[in-house]
Structures are given as C-alpha cells and as structure tokens.
Amino acid sequence: MLLAKAQQKNEDLSAEAQQLRTDLASQTQQSTRAREDLARGSQEADKLRTERETLVQQLAMLTGKLDAKTAQIESLEHRAIGAESQLGVALKRPAATKKKAGKADQTDLV
C-alpha cells in the first residue's frame, strides 16, 4: 500500500511537472511574441517620430513661405492703392491740363 501511494504520488507529480513544462513552453512563446511585438512597435514609433520631425520642418518652411507671400501681397496692395489714388487725381484734372502734362512728359522722353 505504501508503494502504491508512492507510485500514485509519483504519477501525480509527473503529471504536474508535465503540465508545468507545457505552461512554461506556452509562456515562453507568448513572451517571444510579446518581445517581437514590442520591437515592431518601437520601430513604428521611431518611424512616426521621424515622419513627425519631417512634417514639423515642412510646416516651418511653408509657414515662412506663406509669411513672405503675405508680405508681398500687402506690398502690392499698398502699391495698387497708391496707383489708384494717382489715377483718380489724374482723371479729375481738366482735359487741357492733361494734354499739357502729356506733352511735357513726351518732351522729357526725347
């Protein structure tokens, strides 16, 4: 009877050891997959950081270009306002004055 108990205990322990080996193998596989997922996630994060830095640089460059174009447009608007003002003054002058001014301008060209 003692031998039977010892054999039963041995079988139980063997079964438990086998179950522990199976659990360990499963956990090892899960750990390996988790490490691989972490490596892929880290690579993707690095890629996204690089992409973000590139986009930040592009945004800064485009913002500078936009500011330059805005300043250019404002300058052209001021010039157009000045030209409109001069045109308005010229259109309000009497016709005789315009002819004299026109002839004087032509003699300046000669």
CA angle 8, 13, 16 (to 5 degrees): 125
Summarised one tens digit per residue, pLDDT across range 24-64 is 999 999 999 999 999 999 999 999 999 999 999 999 999 99
Please give the single-letter amino acid code of residue 18: Q
93 neighbors 101 (Cβ within 8 angstroms): yes
Quick one: pLDDT band at residue 99, thresholds 50, 70, 90?
low
Of how many residues is the chain composed? 110
What φ, ψ does residue 93 adopt, rounded to 5°? -70, 150
Q: Where are the domains of the chain?
A: 34-100
pLDDT of 95 above 70: no
Write down the residue that tokens 């041995």 correspond to.
Answer: 10
Q: Return the pLDDT at 2.
A: 87
Whole-structure pTM over 0.85, yes or no?
Answer: no
Supply 99's token pair: 């002819």
Q: Return the pLDDT at 105.
A: 56
C-alpha–C-alpha distance, residues 98 and 93, integer Å: 7
Judged by DSSP in three states, 93 sits in: coil
C-alpha–C-alpha distance, residues 38 and 83, integer Å: 66
